[in-house]
Structure 1
Amino acid sequence: MLRISLEQWRMFHAVVEFGGFNQAAQGVFKSQSSVHNAVSKIEDALGVKLFAIEGRKTVLTKEGEMILRRSSYLLEEAKKVEAIGVKLSQGVETQLRIAVDEIFPRALLYNALETVSEQFPLVKIELIESILGGGAEMIENDEVEIAISPNSLGAGFSESLCYIQFGAVASPHHPLHAMDSPLTLEELKSHRQIVVRDSSAINKKNRASDGWLEANQRWTVSHMQSSIDMIVNGLGFAWLPLSLIDTHLNDNRLKRLQLDRNTERTAQLFLTFKDGDRLGPVARCFLGEIRALCLDWPQKT
């Protein structure tokens, strides 16, 4: 039987978080003696001192630092168990929030969402379209339950979902198509490039732009569709997902550029979420559908 309760561990962490016993008592709305008593019981049970007094400060001992790291995992797991219990008691969720990178094939996404809606007609689906690190950031901030993103998740679950093929394209009337020989990188740099910026807030001041070749002229947009529209109208060139522009290529509204090297690029997309046990039946349905659909999607490694 465990000799230390979760409540006692919580008091120990409160002392660390608030910087002292008196501050911790105020922070967790307990008496100072209750906090002292909880920490003393941990020290007696383990046979180690967790805190030392240095001047007016309460600081962790070396043993306390190690215990803090270990017990942090214990409290986090306890929170997850409670969250799972709440989710199970609620049954079918009423809303599903999904972040999907704009390079993901629309047909696969729409088919998966339609299947989910057929099985759970009353569920509200919130779809947030993201670029580069935006989806993973929303998972980290608990803004969505599931993300399809080119960034794998550091703390959570990430699985390779599919590979997206890119091609360098421009309008058929663009001057780049008039070159007699395959285009070099330097020749591309002399023309305007259209790039799409990262939608994550962490890169707000210095956002990455996918596929930028450091062209002398650059127009930066926030959405993939804006980039496609600009290229169709002859305003520049860009690397675009071939799955999103296949009709434009077939209708000769876009034409692939003839390059001397690196004629194709590939981006990997990941299916990410924090904790599978906390996902409800609607989310699990979406995961199953999107995985099945991507199995038949052309893969490239």
Structure 2
Amino acid sequence: MLRITLEQWRMFRAVVEYGGFNQAAAGVHKSQSSIHNAVAKIEAALGVKLFTVHGRKTTLTEAGSMMLRRAQYLLDEAAKVEAMGHTLGEGIESQLRIAVDELLPKELLFSVLEATSSQFPLLRIELFESVLAGANELLQDNKVDIAISPLANDDFCEELGHFEFIAVAHPQHALQQIPRALTFEDLKAHRQIVVRDSALNAQQSSGWLGAEQRWTVSHLHTSINMISKGLGFAWLPRIAITEQLEQGTLKALNIAGADTRTALLYLLFKDGDNLGPAARTFIGELRYRLMADE
């Protein structure tokens, strides 16, 4: 059985915050005797002195300083428990699971997550980074609430926008030394870096796959790093390699009649009626920022 109540800890903290017993009484709208009694009960229960009083000056003892840190943590956790109870009572979900294809720009994703979390500070967000059909599979298996994928499905499906892909290699790569527009026959003779589908049951890879020599990786940033080191060529989303193009570690390949490609991203979820306020906020923030970027 706990011998000290949360209310007594609150009174102790109030004395510190307001700088004295009289000030704390006025600040929390309690009688001065109530504040004194609360602190006295803590001191009696613990056998320590929390304050020293010299005239009008109230100072924490060393033991009081240590207890204040613990009391602050205890009161903060109690406040979180209460807030979570209110959240659940209002029908706000405690967790949001999102599968996001690596094609979605990271800065955009981070800003949407931050905006959502700021409105629902107790929300636990679980992010699954996926490639190709990976997000669809997670949604189908009910492992996520929302999916962002380059592949449409039969559930709710909304186009988010087109993203441009370009074929790139390091400026010193052999393909960059050919003094004419490249053909796909030229590409076949060189190593292509492709990104593996993260789905377990529908394995495929992204981009043109005609190269006789191929390395398959699991993440987009791995492909970018390999290409930047001259280890091959790849079709990569332009928005993901802006920095490398500006720095000159990547350069677009001059391919005859096929120097760019586009891919769509879709917003997917199963049943809009079952989405909680946090999920709807995430979707709204995503739509807003995509419209602002147009």
TM-score (norm 1): 0.67
TM-superposed CA distance for 1:89, in Å, is 5.9
Residue pair 2:98, 2:127 contacting (<8 A) in 1 also: yes
Give the SS at the match of 2:293: coil
Range moving further from structure 2, 288-297 or 123-132:
288-297
CA deviation profile, 1:135-165 (whole Å, cap 9, x unmatched): 01111110000000011121x2110011111
Deviation, structure 1 residue 92: 1.1
Corresponding residue for residue 7 of structure 2: none
Deviations 1:222-247 (CA, angstroms, capped at 9, x unpaired): 11111001001100000000111000
Using the TM superposition, give the Cα deviation of residue 294 of structure 1 relative to its aligned residue in structure 2, in angstroms: 1.1
- How far off is 1:202 after superposition? 1.1
2:212 corresponds to: 216
Which residue does 1:129 correspond to in 2? 129
Task: Report matched runs for 1:237-276 at 5 Å.
Answer: 237-276=233-272
* Alpha-carbon distance in structure 1 between the residues aligned to 2:200 and 2:278: 28
Which contiguous aligned blocks of 4+ residues in structure 1 show a shift greater than 3 angstroms? 87-90
Gaps of 5+ in 1: 1-86
Structure 1 CA distance, aligned partners of 2:210 and 2:184? Answer: 10
Give distance in 2, aligned partners of 1:295 and 1:213.
33
Q: 2:5 is matched with which residue?
A: none
2:88/2:94 contact within 8 Å kept: no
Q: What amino acid sits opposite 2:191 in the alignment?
A: R
In 1, Cα distance between the equivalents of 2:89 and 2:189? 61
Structure 1 counterpart of 2:98: 98
**Cα distance per residue 1:205-225 (max 9 Å; x no partner):** xx2111133201000001111
Q: 1:279 & 1:138 partners in 2: Cα distance?
A: 16
User: Does the CA contact (< 8 Å) of 1:162 and 1:297 recur in 2?
Assistant: no
1:284 matches 2:283:
no
Spell out the pairing of 1:106-185 with structure 2 (5 A cutoff): 106-154=106-154, 156-185=155-184
Q: State how many pairs are aligned.
A: 208
2:224 is aligned to 228
Aligned partners of 2:291 and 2:146: how far apart in 1?
18
Find the aligned partners of 2:117 and 2:156 in 1 and give their Cα distance: 25
TM-score (norm 2): 0.69
Q: Distance in 1 between matches of 2:215 and 2:257?
A: 24
Q: Secondary structure at the match of 1:287?
A: helix
- Checking the alignment, whether the CA contact within 8 Å between 2:170 and 2:251 is kept in structure 1 is yes
Partners of 2:196 and 2:216 within 8 A in 1:
yes
Identity of aligned residues (%): 51
- The residue aligned with 1:47 is none
Q: Over aligned residues, Cα RMSD in angstroms?
A: 1.4
Could you tell me how far 1:297 is from its partner in structure 2?
3.2
Matching residue of 1:196:
195
Aligned pair in 2 of structure 1 residues 88, 152: CA closer, same or farther (>3 Å)? farther
